[in-house]
Chains A and B, each alone.
Chain A
Amino acid sequence: MPKDFGIGAPVKRREDVRFLTGKGRYTDDLNRPGQAYVHFLRSDVAHGRIAKLDTAAAAAMPGVLRVFTAADFAAVGGIPCGWQVTDRFGQPMQEPKHPVLADGKVRHVGDPIAAVVAETLAQARDAAEAIELDIEDLPAVVDMRAALAPDAPKVHDELASNLCFDWGFIEDNAAAVDAAIKAAPHVTTLELVNNRLVPNAMEPRAAVGEYDAADDQHTLWTTSQNPHVIRLLMGAFVLGIPEQRLRVVAPDVGGGFGSKIYHYAEEAFVTFAAKVVGRPVKWTASRSEAFISDAHGRDHITKIELATDENGKFLALRTDTLANMGAYLSTFAPCIPTYLHGTLMAGNYATPLIYVHVRAVFTNTVPVDAYRGAGRPEATFQIERVIDKAARELGIDPIEIRRRNFVRPDQFPYQTPVAVLYDTGNYQATMDKLEALSDRAGFPARREASAARGKLRGFGVAAYIEACGIAPSSLVGSLGARAGLYESATVRVNPTGGVSVFTGSHSHGQGHETSFAQVVSDLLGIDAAQVDIVHGDTARVPFGMGTYGSRSLAVGGSAIVRATEKIIAKAKKIAAHLMEASDQDVVFKDGRFTVAGTDKSVAWTDVTLAAYVPHKYPIEELEPGLEETSFYDPANFTYPAGAYACEVEVDPETGEVEVVAFTAADDFGNIVNPMIVEGQVHGGIAQGIGQAMLEVAAYDETGQLRSGSLMDYAMPRADDLPSFTVDHSCVTPCTHNPLGVKGCGEAGAIGSPPTFVNAVLDALNAGGFGVDHIDMPLSPARVWAALAAAR
């Protein structure tokens, strides 16, 4: 029987009450005394030289406190990149400067050029229009292949070319993979695009900077997934503020999906400007501004080759990708197409030989970085698309070809040929569950019914695996990360028995205040209402790495478990002293300490009070107080996996696709709150279908973002989607963290795009239209064009 609280229970979220009553505290809700506002003048061309920038008239406008340009930041560092990739020749990537405000050149539409700080936002906007700006247009490079041409205009004049790096993984395997592909009886080749996306968390980014001259303290409130990372990057690399003088607060944050991991120029600006003008400075992005200043996601062009024998057994896999970096290197941009992509190219399969080639390219577009899934959706999409094509070519059922190649349960721990070691999994089990839940057996009848209504019905399937719980620090350090990827937790037990948990993880929709409290209340045997979760403030929580890569429970939750275990160990010693027993004999259960085999016991609150009022206390061997900290560095990634099915109906006359059903069978290891887990999967599936069916950040050849607002960029709406069937009953607990959890935040976004595309192609091919591939998003126009070409 599931408990109604603690680990495994679908506990309702405590944070909902403030969100449902309008009492949430998002950054833009915050107003500091004396606050001024900043408006950024941004480039409206993709590439150009700033010929004239005269701010005198703007500075004289009503309410204007100061107008800033690059000259004000001459003594300040640029925005740093947090990951250095070494290329296949042993050389470091090309790393351009990234000034806070454009210095001499603009490199993408949206590049900030000047910033007006004024009494009101309206005055700041009005004054920005009075800035005299002349930009000499330079030819823009937008297309990645064109950017690599020898005579292409350079995004960064100081670099040798637009090639950021040329990376091979694992380079020593390249020749063996090539030989295996040349010798194989069958090779399936697919060229595809992983479309560029705009994350579009519903809360636009915002930042408020404040400076207190009395004690030389800076405070930045910002929409961040990782306030300590911002403090470190901005304090140490950009503004030169000692970390003890800089507080970064990420209050309620309205969604992130990766886009709020990075350190952005606007954060550095408001922190810097607040000291210069002597007033708090607030910035809130408009949505249109977000489109041209938030890091975008995906944007890969790939050729993949899968070599098989006649029975569909995978022999070798090779992939060649161009990855768009945009105009500057965002914080984690270089690791996305490399280590978060290349290491996942084995998928769920025991392919013996794999080689991944990636060239990262600068273009005159917004920087590209991690977006929900980050590299893993790009890997999964290629693998699951090429497998489907191979199945069709070989005449093997798409589920059967996957089953023939799955890593078997008895092969774990499984060492892939792309460096990672899968600790556990059971891919046959999730596929079994999927076939049952999606009623695949009943599909032919449903297809007939659709045909009777003039519709082509398709059933698509895909399997996925992801590397989550990011990440062992020593491993990522050896791969170029300029940070550790542990997580921190402090558990503070108060004298009257209540508990404050300070976590380095950050919640921006994930419900940590509820699920983390479930974990602690379960371990301590006390009511969850006695456990408060504190996050998002560098002045309160220990140095933490934040939330991304489905890491919060696997890494942050593990830190909380370790700290709570230390609390229990100390509390047992105090209890033993109170009961005049040996601490070896003390049993702690349901919030009570008992001497084993006796009726002697003391309550949780007896011990917590004794810790702070140490009158009767083992003071010679134990310090007073009951507060413990843990920094948990994971031993390995975690490997959530699953199988997804999608059913679509295609209108052959219009190319319109309707998602009729979507089923997900996931193995997330152990589950703390199934209600929250299901919600995460729903949201991920919607974003994945959004990518596959609707969304694209489309640039024209001059570098203008054509889908630059919610009028033009097709976000999934309620009537684009069906209700979903999700299941997480297949459980192989993670073997190396104390909760046995794997993470669930990105799965839906990783597994669903190929599932959807496979479904549409199944509909077309079964309907007599021979179509190998359609690039995402599968808009009616693209599907209709593919139908027309096949007719």
Chain B
Amino acid sequence: MPRVSMTVNGRPVSGEVEGRTLLVEFLRETLRLTGTHVGCDTGQCGACVVHVDGASVKSCNVFALDLEGVEVRTIEGMANPDGSLGPIQAAFQQNHGLQCGFCTPGMVMTAAALLAENPSPSEAEIRAYLEGNICRCTGYHNIVKSIQAAAAELAAGRVAAE
């Protein structure tokens, strides 16, 4: 079987894959990074969202073999260096933006991508951006609130840094 090498959460990794092996399978089965979830088989639910070279990608929709040399970031790479919750993760906990936790990794990764593109999104912009992520528990109310809170927190951090 062919081999693929990439960087995942800052760590160089490689493994044997079939041509049909999806990135999410490589992450979950080969690397045993089970924080990235599979909620559907049609690219709809967004539970598998990760970042590939900084862009948010549904990892059930790309082949691992096509990703030689890329940098992947998953939910396991979102905490602060000291292991505490990163600002988006902390905002989800503070605002009860998760219940069963299954869609949560994808939601956090999508939220991070949104806030990188648009640091202070409106509620409508947040809701539109979440179109590709389904949550069955929260009714999205507290996910939206969490992302608004994370945006404010990140903005405050930028002001403090300046």
Q: A and B bound?
A: yes
Interface residues on B, range: 35 or more
A768 to B16, CA, bound (A): 67
Whether, in the assembled complex, A466 has its beta carbon less than 8 Å from a beta carbon of chain B, the answer is no
B49 / chain A contacts, CB cutoff of 8 Å: none
A29 to B31, CA, bound (A): 12
Knowing A20-B93, A683-B99, the reply to whether A202 touches B135 (Cβ < 8 A) is yes
Contacting A at CB under 8 A, from B17-58, are 18, 20, 28, 32-42, 44-45, 47
A709 near B41: Cβ-Cβ < 8 Å: yes
A709 to B75, CA, bound (A): 26
B144 near A20: Cβ-Cβ < 8 Å: no
A710 near B104: Cβ-Cβ < 8 Å: no
Choose from A17, A718, A748 the contact partner of B143 (Cβ within 8 Å): A718
Chain A residue with the shortest CB-CB distance to B89: A20
B124 / chain A contacts, CB cutoff of 8 Å: 719
A717 to B143, CA, bound (A): 12
A511 near B143: Cβ-Cβ < 8 Å: no
B141 / chain A contacts, CB cutoff of 8 Å: 679, 682, 686, 721, 723-724
B100 near A675: Cβ-Cβ < 8 Å: no
Stretch of B62-70, B126-134, B152-160 that contacts chain A: B126-134
B100 / chain A contacts, CB cutoff of 8 Å: 201-203, 252-255, 508-509
CB distance from A644 to the nearest CB of B (A): 13
B108 near A20: Cβ-Cβ < 8 Å: yes
A733 to B121, CA, bound (A): 41
A286 to B44, CA, bound (A): 13
A18 to B101, CA, bound (A): 9
Whether, in the assembled complex, B3 has its beta carbon less than 8 Å from a beta carbon of chain A, the answer is no
A122 near B20: Cβ-Cβ < 8 Å: yes
Residues 24-42 of chain A: 1 if any B CB is under 8 Å from the residue's CB, otherwise 0? 1010110100000000000
Contacting B at CB under 8 A, from A663-692, are 675-676, 678-679, 682-687
A678 to B141, CA, bound (A): 10
A252 near B101: Cβ-Cβ < 8 Å: yes
A254 to B107, CA, bound (A): 14
CB distance from A550 to the nearest CB of B (A): 15
Whether, in the assembled complex, A257 has its beta carbon less than 8 Å from a beta carbon of chain B, the answer is yes
B99 near A717: Cβ-Cβ < 8 Å: no
Chain B residue with the shortest CB-CB distance to A12: B93
A710 near B96: Cβ-Cβ < 8 Å: no
Interface residues on A, range: 35 or more
Whether, in the assembled complex, A488 has its beta carbon less than 8 Å from a beta carbon of chain B, the answer is no
CB distance from B138 to the nearest CB of A (A): 5
Contacting B at CB under 8 A, from A695-729, are 709-711, 715-719, 721, 723-724
Contacting B at CB under 8 A, from A432-446, are none
B85 near A709: Cβ-Cβ < 8 Å: no
A760 to B9, CA, bound (A): 49
CB distance from B110 to the nearest CB of A (A): 10
A99 to B133, CA, bound (A): 37
CB distance from A63 to the nearest CB of B (A): 13
A255 / chain B contacts, CB cutoff of 8 Å: 99-100, 102, 136-137
Contacting B at CB under 8 A, from A251-289, are 252-255, 257, 284, 286-288
Chain A residue with the shortest CB-CB distance to B36: A22
Whether, in the assembled complex, A13 has its beta carbon less than 8 Å from a beta carbon of chain B, the answer is yes
B138 near A28: Cβ-Cβ < 8 Å: no
A17 near B93: Cβ-Cβ < 8 Å: yes
Chain B residue with the shortest CB-CB distance to A31: B32
Chain B residue with the shortest CB-CB distance to A21: B79
Choose from A20, A23, A31, A287 the contact partner of B98 (Cβ within 8 Å): A20
B137 near A509: Cβ-Cβ < 8 Å: yes
CB distance from A608 to the nearest CB of B (A): 31
CB distance from A122 to the nearest CB of B (A): 7
A718 near B99: Cβ-Cβ < 8 Å: no
A719 near B127: Cβ-Cβ < 8 Å: yes
A710 near B45: Cβ-Cβ < 8 Å: yes
A200 / chain B contacts, CB cutoff of 8 Å: 136
Whether, in the assembled complex, A397 has its beta carbon less than 8 Å from a beta carbon of chain B, the answer is no
CB distance from B132 to the nearest CB of A (A): 8
19 A–B pairs (Cβ distance < 8 Å), ordered by A: A13-B93, A21-B85, A22-B105, A24-B101, A29-B34, A31-B32, A202-B136, A254-B102, A255-B136, A510-B99, A678-B96, A679-B96, A683-B136, A709-B41, A711-B42, A715-B44, A718-B135, A719-B124, A721-B139
Q: Which residues of B contact A (CB under 8 A)?
A: 18, 20, 28, 32-42, 44-45, 47, 74-76, 78-79, 85, 89, 92-94, 96, 98-105, 108, 123-124, 126-128, 130-131, 133-145
Other than the given A28-B34, A253-B100, 10 more pairs (CB < 8 A) read A29-B28, A202-B102, A254-B100, A683-B137, A683-B138, A710-B42, A711-B42, A711-B44, A717-B130, A718-B131
Ranked nearest first, the 9 interchain pairs of A and B with the lowest CB-CB distance are: A22-B35, A254-B102, A19-B101, A686-B139, A509-B100, A509-B99, A710-B44, A287-B40, A29-B34
